[in-house]
Amino acid sequence: MPDRYLGRIIGKYRVARHLGSGAFSWVYEAVDLDLEIPVALKILRPEFAGEDAVASRFRKEAATAARLRHPNIVTVRDVGQTDGVPFVVMDLYPLTLGRRLALVGHLPESEVVRLGIGIAAALAVAHANQIIHRDIKPDNILLAASGDGVVADFGLAQALAGQEILGTTAQVQGTPHYFSPEQARGKALDGRSDLYSLGVTLYRAATGRLPFEGEDWYAVATQHVEVPPPGPRTVRPELTPEFEAVLLRLLAKAPSARYADAMQLIDALAALPSAPVGSDAVARYGATTVDVVRASGRPAKRVLWATVLVVAGALLAWLARPRAPRPTVSVPAITSPAPESIAAPDPAPETPPSRPTLPDNATGTPRPPVPPRRGAILPRAVRLHVTTADSAAIYVDNRLVGAGAWSGELPLTTRLVVRAVIPDAPTSCRSALHDTVITDLVAGRRFDVHLPVRGCSVVRYRVEPRDARVQFVPLDGGRPVETRADSVESYSLPWGRYLMRISAPYCIVFSDTVVVSRVPMPTTVPRKLVCS
């Protein structure tokens, strides 16, 4: 069981809580006792410790990620072994893209484009090192506090130059919903397979749906090979045609019909109207890729020069391309709440329209913009003030705006959906999410919204006799929970104080107060009733 490591010290890391489980490993939040910082600790499950193939894959995953240095690739801090079981230590991120999509459904196009640029930059570096990921999907994309995507889990990564990290080319490995057609058919793969999987990931993030669904993996894989994907704008009409064209090109059945490489995809995403203004992903990618290619020593000199020329050409194209005026897109981080900007007001009919600063034809000096006339009609807006738990993220109309508390002005509309969620709470924790819909909005009025949310922790107990009834009565408000001792030996409860009552026929009722907090109970609570 994953709980076996909770509270233990492994190497120089104290295990704090269980974050998730994979097919071969458990992932925990731990504390580096030397640096006193939180880290992610990935441990090979003990039942696989004796299997050389699995242990080799686990170690090589760490080696693969460790030699790829890029802001959008997870950093491996340490590797080690405890009781014969290997572990890997990485930077800790509070949220995955998969978890966020499970909470909010889909993301605004501008955020999806930003994620796509960062993930493509990470893939460009991996491909320059002759490595393909083979399992790009939302659960393998971590989210930094800045909102950027960070690629993790190189467990299925494979070298392009003949040195295979796992398995053979003909093996079908990965996640079926994110397979490329050539991956589903067990064909030879190159970097364009990762681009297809990234296309599925961005499609899911932008529309809230997968392009292909089925009853089993074979049905899904068949659609990847044979069925055209539905247009993203048929699902979300608000998406721009330019972004839809990028997604459909990524999801082309033939690799030759997709983008030639990740750098070409970066350029296409950065040129979209919805791309973040001032994005430095292209420049950051260029410098990093040249360094990685030079350090790897594997590509020939002509490959290095070709990469340099491609990067230089992309940078020149990026700097030289025409810049049409477009609204600034802001992607606020969870840790830095910021009010949403209000669209510029439409001028009154009798007011000359305001214009951006333009050069004067005669002198070449800039002319200041024309200020609005006195009495011009200002945009109608409402003020919103949201409070929730300090650790909870706040979303307004599916857009992340801050954490803990947020205030701002929003354009007047018919309804607003406000949601608060604790990002790292398990999906079974219903108290970690609370949302509300505000109607009857009035211009100029302030609306105060409080969204109470609480995380959950597991309470473990062992009760005799086995047919006893176990009841948790919340002392801070809420519904009581009751179960039988022989059905479950643990229960996930929202944080708070509870009266734990245990009763059975012909036995004295036992009562005690239990405090459920962010730190899980390290041990199982034994309770034996006195019975006649």
pLDDT score recorded for residue 328? 37
Q: At 306, which helix (H) or strand (E)?
A: helix 301-320
pLDDT score recorded for residue 234? 94
pLDDT score recorded for residue 395? 86
Q: What is the mean pLDDT of residues 294-319?
A: 46
Q: What is the mean pLDDT of residues 109-130?
A: 93
pLDDT score recorded for residue 308? 46
Which residues partner with 513 through β-bridges? 499
**Dihedral of alpha carbons 373, 374, 377, 381, sign:** positive
Confidence of residue 212 (pLDDT cuts 50, 70, 90): very high
When mean pLDDT is compared across 2-11, 246-255, 413-422, the lowest value belongs to 2-11
CA distances from 441 to 317, 346, 392 (A): 46, 21, 25
- Inter-residue contact 436 to 459 (CB < 8 Å): no
Confidence of residue 65 (pLDDT cuts 50, 70, 90): confident
pTM, to two decimals: 0.58
Identify whether 135 is a catalytic site residue.
Answer: yes
Confidence of residue 231 (pLDDT cuts 50, 70, 90): very high
Q: What is the mean pLDDT of residues 225-230?
A: 93
Q: What is the mean pLDDT of residues 270-289?
A: 63
Written as one string, the DSSP assignment of 42-62 is EEE-GGGTT-HHHHHHHHHHH
Confidence of residue 35 (pLDDT cuts 50, 70, 90): confident
In the set 135, 139, 194, 267, the catalytic residue is 135
Phi-psi category of 356—alpha, beta or left, where left has phi over 0 and alpha has psi -120 to 50? beta
How do strand 131-132 and strand 85-91 relate by DSSP bridges?
Answer: unpaired
Query: Residue 24: which residues within 8 A CB-CB, separation 6 or more?
Result: 44, 45, 48, 54, 57, 58, 155
Confidence of residue 22 (pLDDT cuts 50, 70, 90): confident
**Four-way CATH pick for 95-320: 3.30.1490.100, 1.10.10.60, 1.10.510.10, 1.10.10.10:** 1.10.510.10
Confidence of residue 265 (pLDDT cuts 50, 70, 90): very high
Question: What pLDDT digit, counting tens, does each position of 176-206 carry?
Answer: 899 899 988 888 889 999 999 999 999 999 9
Which residues partner with 151 through β-bridges? 73, 141
Question: What pLDDT digit, counting tens, does each position of 91-101 carry?
Answer: 998 788 998 89
Residue range 2-91, CATH number: 3.30.200.20
pLDDT score recorded for residue 516? 87
Q: What is the mean pLDDT of residues 502-526?
A: 81
Query: Tokens in use for 86?
Result: 């290997």
- 353 alpha carbon, distance to own chain's centre: 42
Q: What is the mean pLDDT of residues 430-437?
A: 85
What are the residue ranges spanned by the domains of the chain? 2-91, 95-320, 379-451, 456-528
Domains 95-320 and 456-528 share a fold: no
When mean pLDDT is compared across 186-190, 239-243, 298-302, 397-401, the lowest value belongs to 298-302
Q: What are phi and psi of 169, to 5 degrees?
A: -60, -35
Distance CA 270, CA 268 (A): 6
pLDDT at 301 over 50: no
Helices vs. strands in the chain: H and E counts, helices first: 11, 27
Query: Tokens in use for 483?
Result: 């179960």
Confidence of residue 109 (pLDDT cuts 50, 70, 90): very high
Confidence of residue 43 (pLDDT cuts 50, 70, 90): confident
Query: Residue 252: which residues within 8 A CB-CB, separation 6 or more?
Result: 196, 258
Q: What is the mean pLDDT of residues 384-389?
A: 93
Confidence of residue 254 (pLDDT cuts 50, 70, 90): very high
Sheet containing 490-494, strands listed edge to edge, beginning at the edge strand earlier in sequence: 490-494, 456-464, 525-528
pLDDT score recorded for residue 225? 92
Distance CA 473, CA 208 (A): 38
Instruction: Pick the more confident residue, 3 or 167.
Output: 3
Q: Quickly count: other Cβ atoms within 10 Å of residue 318's Cβ.
A: 17
Distance CA 101, CA 86 (A): 31
Q: Verify cis geometry, omega within 30 degrees of 0, for the bond prior to 465.
A: yes
Is 456-528 CATH 3.30.160?
Answer: no
